[in-house]
Structure 1
Amino acid sequence: MENSKIDSKTKKHLLNFQKAELTEHMIYKRLADSTKDTKNKKVLESIANEELKHHDFWKSYTNEDVKPNYIKVLFYFILSKILGLTFSLKLMENGEERAQISYEDISSVVPEAKQIEEEEDKHERELLGMIEEERLNYVGSIVLGLNDALVELTGALAGLTFALQNGIIIATSGLITGIAASLSMAASEYLSKRAENDERALKSAAYTGIAYIITVFFLILPYLLMPNNYFLSLIITLLTAVIIILIFNFYISVAKDLSFKSRFLEMAGISLGVAGLTFFIGFLVRITLGVSI
């Protein structure tokens, strides 16, 4: 390699590339070593070897050793254990900032840079798509429980807030409604999957029910913490619903390569729209029936 042609600024970029590749090599290698699934282990080892090959390529130009970012290695290792391999690794690949210079910008000095970029963008994504995770097989069931709880309970709490105007009674009513609805949704999901002869019917039902009940807990929590400020509790509940929708759709958009904006706006629009409608219904019920607590 004619390294004499590389100026100090370009070399700094190459060292950044080299460090990034070594860091990702260690992330994939550590995950491969800790993964029991044989197929996933092979995929992770393959990507780890690819990253190491890229590191060695950049080193042939820099002729220097670099140290990996150990904090980043630890962060993505822990994140993968909490939120799963697919989400964590795709988040890492999507958020990679090699430097404020693209591979193409240095192709005049490093002709093979464009090829490295193509491998980064295509080959690794293809391999990541081969990773299998149980939780991603039940996304539909989780969406069912989550979306149903958000739509039904935000609507119910909005209506109850105006009709009852008592934080403890609203929370109690919401909790009873939520638990009953979660069991109903889980049972419906089980029967639906059984009708399709799906062997995963029980797990699908469990994911639906758990997603529902967790959502219920977060939505009624403001009423339990601030029983006397029921209108403020409603506002916080609606904000909580939006945050839940935002976090969930971000997770799914990264893990499954789906559009975030359209899914988030649709889900948030439906939940808040139903809440607004039932709040108005609660107003009518209170006026018409003369409910006073």
Structure 2
Amino acid sequence: MEKETEQELIKKMIGFQKEEITSSIIYRKLAAKEKDIHNREILQRIAEDESRHYATLRGYTHQDVSPNRFEICFYVWLVRLLGVTFAVRRLELGEKETSGVYSQYPSMEHFAEMARDEQHHEEKLIEMIDEERLQYMGSVVLGLNDALVEFTGALAGFTLALNDTKLIALTGSITGIAAALSMASSEYLSTKSEKTYNKRPVKAAIYTGIAYIITVVALVGPFILLSSPVLALCIMLVMALLIIAFFNYYYAIARNESFKRRFTEMAVLSFSVAGISFLIGYLLKAVTGVGG
């Protein structure tokens, strides 16, 4: 790394200050929303460390820096929408980056100490996560995976076989609701037979059923709103891709797994089934003459 001028270093430190004071406020707000006492204490300690880092950096820059209000609001809403676990994991990614930056200045005693603090934060954050919604993540995965794979295929087949958006929407809705109830029942029996310590069969069934029905509504929607079966099919496939992307991004962050690998697997599987079903629908239409 090229030697920085004092002015460049001060400018960079001011940027670090903004990150530290912003992170401190975010962690305090997350702690205030956290019900688990152990988790809340960890978040509060991290917030105090971030405040201390800000004070240390101010000793170099001799300047006060305002926090990033937009980022604070973003994380507050993120907690409300996706839970503390997801928000903390997102912050953890920032901890890794900050630790890496501070470690680039080994000759500066305070920076080395702050790098160790950031690394410690990362380890603590990994240990502390225990949120109900993640306990039932497997049930949501089951509902989404099955709905996306089965339903994109079914709607693609109906598109060629029936060639009428209202009829496709009606048939798809009946099929989807029946499949959702079936999947929820199967998950209930599966969870009950496994006797998983921290999972309740009824809750697992509800998570699976809701995930399935939400997917059904999103995929059937284009056929209800549009009159062109082919256009509705194209929009449905885009909706499926967006659902896959959103869910796998959430899962990858919350579970610290590879987004690219999970997204690719699920997208290829869903679209492959949809393509095969589309061809089957075309062949059945040609053979039976149904759909005009």
- Shift of residue 217, structure 1, vs aligned partner: 0.5
**Partner SS for 2:256:** coil
Whether the 8 Å contact between 2:142 and 2:208 is mirrored in structure 1 is: yes
- Please say if residues 17 and 98 of structure 1, whose CA atoms lie closer than 8 Å, have aligned partners that are also in contact: no
CA drift at 1:53: 2.1
Runs of at least 5 residues in structure 2 that lack an aligned partner in the other structure: none
Greater mean deviation of Cα atoms: 7-16 or 228-237: 7-16
- CA-CA distance at 1:95 after TM superposition: 4.9
Q: Return the offset for 1:104.
A: 4.2
Q: Is the 8 A contact 2:92 2:125 kept in 1?
A: no
CA distance in 2 between partners of 1:212 and 1:15 (Å): 48
State the shift of 1:105 in Å.
4.2
Q: Is the 8 A contact 1:151 1:275 kept in 2?
A: yes
Find the residue that maps to 1:102 and give its secondary structure: helix
Show the counterpart of 1:125.
122
Partner residue, 1:184: 182
Alignment of 1:76-225 (within 5 A): 76-95=75-94, 102-108=101-107, 110-120=108-118, 122-129=119-126, 130-198=128-196, 199-225=199-225
How far residue 94 of structure 1 moved from its aligned partner, in angstroms, is 2.1
1:34, 1:93 → 2: CA distance?
A: 18
Name the CA shift for 1:98/1:55 in 2 (closer, same or farther; >3 Å).
farther
Q: Is the 8 A contact 1:86 1:128 kept in 2?
A: no
Return the alpha-carbon distance in structure 2 between the equivalents of residues 264 and 46 of structure 1: 35
Change in 2 beyond 3 A, CA 1:170/1:95: farther
The aligned runs of 1:24-35 (5 Å cut-off) are 24-35=23-34
Match of 2:245 in 1: 246
Indicate the percent of aligned positions where both proteins have the same amino acid. Answer: 46
> How far has the Cα of 1:126 moved from its partner?
1.8
**Structure 1 residue 261: Cα displacement:** 0.9
Residues 98 and 270 (structure 1), Cα distance of their counterparts in 2 relative to 1, 3 Å cut: closer
**Contact map agreement 1:10 1:106 (CA 8 A) in 2:** no
Instruction: Judge conservation of contact 1:194–1:201 (CA < 8 Å) in 2.
Output: yes
Deviation for aligned residue 1:196: 1.4
Residue 151 of structure 1 and its aligned partner are, at CA, apart by: 0.6
Residue type of the partner of 1:273?
Answer: S
Equivalent AA in structure 2 for residue 154 of structure 1: T
* TM-score, normalization by structure 2: 0.91
User: For residue 7 of structure 2, what is the aligned residue in structure 1?
Assistant: 8
Alpha-carbon distance change, 104 to 44 in structure 1, aligned in 2, over 3 angstroms: closer
Q: What's the offset of the Cα at 1:209?
A: 0.3
* Aligned 8 A contact 1:27 1:73 in 2: yes
List per-residue Cα deviations over 1:246-272 (Å, max 9, x = no partner): 111111111111011111111011100
The 10-residue stretch of structure 1 (33-42 or 269-278) with the greater mean CA deviation from structure 2: 33-42
- 2:129 is paired with a residue of what secondary structure? coil
**2:109 aligns to what SS in structure 1?**
coil
- SS class of match (1:273): helix
The residue type paired with residue 128 of structure 1 is: L
Deviations 1:234-289 (A, max 9, x none): 11111111111011111111111101111111101110010111111111111111
> 2-side partners of 1:139 and 1:185: how far apart?
15
Q: Which residue identity lines up with residue 144 of structure 2 in the other structure?
A: L
For residue 270 of structure 1, what is the amino acid of its counterpart? L
More off after superposition, 200-209 vs 54-63: 54-63
Q: Deviations over 1:70-97 (max 9, x none)?
A: 2221221111111111212322342579
1:269 and 2:268 are equivalent in the alignment = yes
2:73 equivalent to 1:74: yes
Letter in 1 for 2:259: F
RMSD of the TM alignment (CA)? 2.1
1:149-183 C-alpha deviation (Å, 9 max, x unpaired): 00111000011100000000001100000000000
Shift of 1:38: 1.8
Amino acid at match of 1:123: H
> Contact 1:20 / 1:98 at 8 angstroms: preserved in 2?
no
* Contact 2:156 2:277 (C-alpha < 8 Å) held by counterparts: yes
Deviation per CA, 1:46-77, whole angstroms, max 9, x where unpaired?
21122122222212222332222222212211
